Chain A
C-alpha cells in the first residue's frame, strides 16, 4: 500500500517533503533500511523534487506534485509525479568537482545514491521520476 504526500511545486515545501520522508521511512520495518540508507534516499528525493520545481515546472509555484513511497521486500521506491516538462536527462554528465562551479551536482547525487532512476510518462499530462533503492 503506497504512502503518498500531495504538495505544491514551491521550494519552501522541501522541508515538509523531507519531514514526510523521514517520518515514513523511519517507521518502516526492514533490516537494511538503516539510517545511512534513509539519509541517502531523503537526499536523492529532495534533489529530484527540487529539480522538478526548478526545471520541470520552471519555478511556477502553484502546481501539484505527488510523492509516493512503496516499500517491498527487496526494494524501496520513491515516485515523484508531476505535470511539468520532462526536461531532465537520464544520464547526467559528471559535475565539475574542481570547486569552481556552484551547481550541477543534483543529478549526479541522485544517480549515485539510488540504484535505478527512471523518467516516464505514466498517464496523460503526468510525468514520473521513479527512484529505486535495493534493500538486499
Chain B
C-alpha cells in the first residue's frame, strides 16, 4: 500500500495509490501512512483514487487526524468521490474534517502557503 507524496511549500500532499479503504486493508493503511506523517505540520490527503470506503476506513482517517492534531499540525482532505462524501456526511464526519473539492482549494486554505510557494 503506497502513497505518492507531493510538496507545495510546507504542505505535504499524500495521494493514496489504492482504490478502496475498508476493513480488509486498514491495518496496512495505518502502517504505510506513518512515515509520511512524521514531522509534517500541514498535511492534505487527496482521496481522488479512493472509490470505496467503509466505517473502518473512516476510523483510520480519524486516527490520522488525531495523530496530526497531536503534533499541533493540520490535516485537510480533498478529492472525495460522491460515494465517500456520502459516508462522511452519514456519520457527521464532514463536521470534523476540513474537506475541499480539490488539492488546489485545500492548499489555498492553509494560511500563507500561496505567498510562500510563489
Interface residues of A (CB under 8 A from B): 11-15, 18, 36, 39-40, 42-43, 46-47, 50, 53-54, 95, 97-99, 101-103, 105-106, 108-109, 112-113
**A105 contacts across to B, CB distance below 8 A:** 55, 58-59, 91
User: Of A39, A47, A105, A109, which is in contact with the most chain B CB atoms at under 10 Å from its CB?
Assistant: A105
Give chain A nearest CB distance to B59 CB in angstroms: 4
| Contact status A12-B63, CB under 8 Å | no
CB nearest to B52 among chain A residues: A18
The answer on a CB contact under 8 Å between B91 and A95 is yes
Interface residue count on the B side (C-beta < 8 Å): 25
- The answer to whether B24 touches A103, judged by C-beta atoms less than 8 angstroms apart, is no
With A97-B91, A112-B90 known as contacts, the answer to whether A14 contacts B59 (CB < 8 A) is: no
Chain A residues within 8 Å of B87, by CB = 43, 109
Bound form: Cα–Cα A91–B93 in Å = 22
A11-B54 CB under 8 A given contacts A105-B59, A109-B91: no
Q: Which residue of A lies closest to B56 (CB)?
A: A50
Query: Which residues of A lie under 8 Å from residue B86 when comparing CB positions?
Result: 36, 39-40
Interface check B23, CB cutoff 8 A: yes
In the complex, the answer to whether A109 meets B90 with C-beta atoms within 8 Å is yes
CB distance from B77 to the nearest CB of A (A): 13
A21 to B18, CA, bound (A): 20
B54 partner residues in chain A, CB cutoff 8 A: 14, 43, 46-47, 50, 106
Q: Which of B66, B91, B93, B96 has the most CB of A within 10 A?
A: B91
Chain B 83-95, CB within 8 Å of chain A: the 1/0 string?
A: 1001100111101
